[in-house]
Structure 1
Amino acid sequence: MIVQTARFGKIEVYPDTTWDFSVPILGFEEYKNFVGIAQEDSPFEFIQSLDEENLTFVLTDPFMFYPEYEFTLEQRWRDILQIEKEDEVIVRSVVTVRSPSDITLNLKAPIIMNLKSRKAAQIILEQSEYETRHPLNKVEDQEGRHADTVEK
């Protein structure tokens, strides 16, 4: 399937790159279908709405920047996402870029993705001290890499 996007132009979408958000991204409840777009040689990736060409989120693996990040995934989330094995799961954080010196990760509400079922959900970690704006603590190590760099 070919999808028109504002950021990437026309892209070809394959079933093994799509995500069905069983529980939508907060504030974007009407959008449940996304395609993942990896960025070569970058810690960042994108998810692009299949329903709204102007809706794209920047994601990253939070463990790359916060190795001590941890939480327990409640059984209800495992059931919703049809998780059977731990190796089916990937965790991503939404990246917010306000300026080159103000880039944050949302560790309070990670996106949990099941590689097998292709289901995803943004969950809120109710009983945690994590915040929605954790600074990207390795910006110096990523010099020359920009979350918003895209080749069309």
Structure 2
Amino acid sequence: MATEAFEEIAETFDFLDDWEERYRHVIELGKAMPALDDAVKVPATKVEGCASQVWILPRIEGEGADATFDFEGDSDAIIVRGLIAILHALYAGLTAAEVLKVDAQAELGRLGLDEHLSSQRSNGVRAMIGRIRDLAAERAAA
């Protein structure tokens, strides 16, 4: 269950010949993402379990399982900003219930990220996915 935005990233990754080009593309995605205002980079938005500083600010409209899920994110590491952009493409616009059904590891596996990220980065991605799922679950239960 991938969004159109994520499918576009997957198609671009299929087109790129090697991991170096894909890595540069992830960096470009991060550079294109707007930065979070420092005022919202607080403990409540910080994602624990990441080697880099990571913040995810939910932007969820509506109540319950049908609430529309979105978020903004930022990191002090440009590659991580790119990973946040990929997660945004994967989840933004889904309902809270749909977010909980996404098999993020399988979808990200399509990009080959699981094979090319360091264990620290992989742990950070899992922490970000966990935070996103927690936010969606909180809203879905409301």
Could you say which structure has the higher helix fraction?
2
Relative to the length of structure 1, the TM-score reads 0.28
Could you say which structure has the higher strand fraction?
1
Tell which has more relative contact order, 1 or 2 (C-alpha 8 A, sep 6+): 2
Relative to the length of structure 2, the TM-score reads 0.29
